[in-house]
Amino acid sequence: MKDVAIVGAGVFGLCAAYVCALRGMSVVVLEKSDAIGAGASGGIVGAMSPHTPDNWNQKKQFQFDALCAAETFWRDVDACSGVSSGYGRIGRVFPIPDERLLGLAQMRAKSATEIWQGKFRWDVLQSHALIAPSAAPFGVVHDTMSARIYPALACQSLRAALMKMGVEIRMGCVVETVQDSIVSGQWGEIRANAIVLAAGVGGFEFLDRKFEMQTGSGVKGQGALLQYDLGHAPQINAEGIYIIPHEDGTVGVGSTSETDWNNPTGTDEKLDFVIASAKRICPVLQNAIVKKRWAELRPKARKRTPMLGAIPGCNNVYAALGGYKIGFGLAHKSAEMIADMIAGTTCDIPANFTVQHHLDL
């Protein structure tokens, strides 16, 4: 009998396993594929950026707290594992395309001083050396809070840390049923005091059957890895495209957001457009070689925010799903919330993150 059984070895599941193990719980992780991070968590882009510093609310505060804590979390994981997650607080620059947004950027520069508690800056600059002037006609914003991570390597770092901590990770376990204290499939069954459903798009399929409604979906994202060393230059976010300098001398570029697709892991001309746009926005990448093309489904809950917490009608079964676009920035703090719930500790989770919020029509 385990304290916790976690279904899914993506970043939400692995972070939950790590935090629970740190708190002395016995943990087993069940993964249907033969590799961890087999879905969206095995990606190559890895942007970790804040919401705008205005119209502050509980969701924005949750993300702010998570991004503040990320540096310590990933440093500790990497120290335990001996594997680099690729985390680095490199900041972010993004172009200002028109006069209206310039006014908003200047207003947010003032509010950031108070809202971000003086820990980070939101500066409005006339230009940035990496961004083509034509892409930034009204200047750029530079924030110092944003960070980068290499998603696939971060999952490997978590895996190595979990193995050193004695956490059991079982591969090739397709989960067919999740009951109050039992997770089972053709491979057998495991009993646990608490079960965490962190299976990405597959987790939504379980909830869809239980509640007879669509609780989430998979949004296809295509990205590319370019061979070019930008060092510790800030990430760039322009025209919906992220350009992420990795510590290994590559640059992650992406991603598309496709709700209509045939092949969830195939790349096509949509990625060609993203690559061409990235090279236009950041001219130093013009001759960079494409080292890898990548595509996967990213789990998006029906109301977009992550879906965290107790699943109604399932005793001691919790969801950790739907980290669409922001999963790596929130996964460690989301794991702490799940661990608190399992332990019966009161936790302050945004109301629109709860499972009940996503089930309400």
DSSP code per residue over 316-328: TEEEEE--TTTHH
Q: Are 327 and 307 in contact (CB under 8 A)?
A: no
6 pairs with which residues across the strands?
29, 196
d(CA 358, CA 305): 9
SS3 assignment, position 148 = strand
Asked: is 2-52+152-216+302-359 a CATH 2.40.10.220 domain? The reply is: no
Per-residue pLDDT of the chain (361 residues; tens, 9 = 90+): 999 999 999 999 999 999 999 999 999 999 999 999 999 999 999 999 999 999 999 999 999 999 999 999 999 999 999 999 999 999 999 999 999 999 999 999 999 999 999 999 999 999 999 999 999 999 999 999 999 999 999 999 999 999 999 999 999 999 999 988 899 999 999 999 999 999 999 999 999 999 999 999 999 999 999 999 999 999 999 999 999 999 999 999 999 999 999 999 999 999 999 999 999 999 999 999 999 999 999 999 999 899 999 999 999 999 999 989 899 999 999 999 999 999 999 888 999 999 999 998 6
d(CA 330, CA 333): 6
pTM of the complete model beyond 0.85: yes
Torsions phi, psi of 271, nearest 5?
-70, -35
Q: Are 87 and 78 in contact (CB under 8 A)?
A: yes
d(CA 158, CA 150): 12
Q: Are 323 and 331 in contact (CB under 8 A)?
A: yes
Domain with CATH 3.50.50.60 in the chain: 2-52+152-216+302-359
167 Rama sector, left if φ>0, alpha if ψ -120 to 50, beta otherwise: beta
- 106 token code pair: 């200047």
CA separation, residue 244 to residues 151, 271, 293, 298, 319 (Å): 12, 16, 15, 18, 30
